[in-house]
Structure 1
Amino acid sequence: MGIRMRVRSLAVAVSLLSLCGVEGAGAAAAAPAGLGPCAERGRVAVFHEGGIPLVDWRENLEFDGRGTLWVAHVTQNRVEGYAPDGSLRASFAVSGPGGIRRGPDGMMYVNFGVNPLSPSGGIARFDPAAAHPEPETVVDGLSGVNGLAVDGRGNFYVSRELATGVLKFGPDGTPDTEWTKKADVFGTNGLQIVGDQLYASVITSTESPVVRIPLDDPARHSVVTRLSAHPLDVKLLDDLTEFEGDLVVATFGSGELIRVDPATGRSCVLVSGLRMPTSVRVPRGFGDHDGRRELYVVEASGRILKVTVG
């Protein structure tokens, strides 16, 4: 999201909401005594250098399965496409791009208006195979949006960091207000669908929880794990992805990638020492990059990183 919203508003929100936990989250796992390193650690290499931290903020990324990595460059109001060798393949204007995901139709979808300087927000789509992609609005009139997920039927799910309820829209952009009302989790950021479950990271709680929301019964949402042992350990959870049966969460505040077993909530630190990581994804159809051992990360520093596990 934009600099002012993330740096200023979240600092206030975390302070005010720390005693509230996760609104409507149901039965929850206990907070960890402290996270140790994973048995298999991640090795970090720079795929693309950044610029001035925060000014060169890259917010999200996704692979199209056709050889291009698409990146939401929020402070530059652009979506960028990178080839497997790291070269810039495409770049086009999108106002305040945020969460970006591939749909079941092969099109790419991106939230816009994430930067608070943008006049309005919504969801746009573009054809990753086009020589010169042109974004087309699917949903308009949103505010405070951030993360994005798209299910196998083409439904959209949108997170909001300073509001209650994950937004759901049908493939034609029609809002599903009843579903959203039941998915009454406050302060969601990253979204990831695994099977019939939507996993969400919560950024506005000092407990740093990851929440499971059943797609067919969102009122039964529950906490998978709480990743902060105490308020001084607040991590500011950002985006998350599925990796070899687990979840990997990027922590904006503590600069880590944390691996979580969604069945048990057991967690460990895969990578530390990152510079405000905002999103993490597994490479798909991206040259010879191996989705079983690699992860890609973008940061508010502007860097794009490759993480090799094991």
Structure 2
Amino acid sequence: MPPVVHHGGIGSRCWDPLHTAPTWYENLEFDRGTIWLSNLTGNAVEQYRLDGTFLQSIPLRAPGAIRKGPDGLLYVNFGDDSPETRPLPSGVVRLTPEPEVWIGGDTLSSANGAEFDRRGILVRHLDIAYPNGIVTIGNTVFTNIVIDPKSAIVRITGNRQTRLELGAPDKGLDDLAVGPDGKLYVTAYTSGELIKVDPWTGAHYTLLSGLKNPTAVRFLPGTRTMFVTHASGAVLKARL
């Protein structure tokens, strides 16, 4: 069944599947008119045109977040997998165009989310229990807590932390993005929702429900079009 569209953001005919495969898509990024997907269980990053046409696949063990750096190159977390395999190396590769290890030997965190802040610094690990996605607005960092009874996002400014709670039971918040309106757009893996959140007040409402394990959301730069990846293998395209 298609996802349920809720009043207040996405038109009922403005969503469309871009791509579907029997795999776990964990994250995504855009580059020169194409979209890159991290195929977590397929151990690869994949490039497609925005109409869904396949371009290439590059082997990479358990990829997580893909982000474009200030140098215009793509940076990909790898080693984002189960606790049983975390003694294996993890880190960040840079696609140039083949993967080269940029940060390696990280056997502690197997970080999933990542974000370049406005200074060009890659933020990928925070000293908080169970962080997942990461975004920045100015000097403020926002991270989802993937295991939290109140489905919390933590806002961090300097040494101050503020919880934005989306409510019980635990929705399994996965990744998040900043939209063109300055709001946070959050994927809830367990509850199958896409949630819009005011980053300063915590006010929120559900844009889409009935999704099957959404993992990440990103906006095509300069547009109001978003793409949502799913652990069920779907990549959904929607326009605000």
- Note whether the superposition's TM-score is higher than 0.5: yes
The equivalent position to 1:61 in structure 2, one of 28, 40, 56, is 28
| Residues 1-310 of structure 1: pairs in structure 2 closer than 5 A | 37-41=6-10, 43-51=14-22, 56-64=23-31, 66-116=32-82, 117=85, 119-127=88-96, 133-143=97-107, 144-159=110-125, 166=126, 184-214=127-157, 217=158, 219-223=159-163, 225-228=164-167, 230=168, 233-243=169-179, 244-284=181-221, 291-292=223-224, 294-309=225-240
Could you tell me how far apart the structure 2 residues matched to 1:79 and 1:149 are? 18
Could you tell me how far apart the structure 1 residues matched to 2:130 and 2:232 are? 23
Equivalent residues of 2:118, 2:138 under 8 A apart:
no
User: Which protein is richer in helix relative to its size?
Assistant: 1
Could you tell me how far apart the structure 1 residues matched to 2:231 and 2:146 are? 16
Could you tell me how far apart the structure 1 residues matched to 2:120 and 2:10 are? 35
Query: TM-score, structure 2 length as denominator?
Result: 0.89
3-state secondary structure, aligned to 2:51: coil
Number of matched pairs: 227
User: Which protein is richer in strand relative to its size?
Assistant: 2
Give unpaired runs (5+ residues) of structure 1.
1-36, 128-132, 160-165, 167-183, 285-289
- Equivalent residue, structure 1, for 2:3: none
How many angstroms does 1:115 deviate by? Answer: 2.2
- RCO greater where, 1 or 2, for CA within 8 Å and sep 6 or more? 1
Paired AA for residue 104 in structure 2: D
How many angstroms does 1:204 deviate by? Answer: 1.4
Could you tell me how far apart the structure 2 residues matched to 1:234 and 1:196 are? 28
3-state secondary structure, aligned to 1:104: coil
The two structures, once aligned, show a CA RMSD in angstroms of 1.5
List per-residue Cα deviations over 1:280-302 (Å, max 9, x = no partner). 00012xxxxx722x210000011
Equivalent residues of 2:10, 2:238 under 8 A apart:
no
Q: Give aligned-pair identity as a percent.
A: 39
Query: TM-score, structure 1 length as denominator?
Result: 0.70
3-state secondary structure, aligned to 1:98: strand
Could you tell me how far apart the structure 2 residues matched to 1:220 and 1:263 are? 14
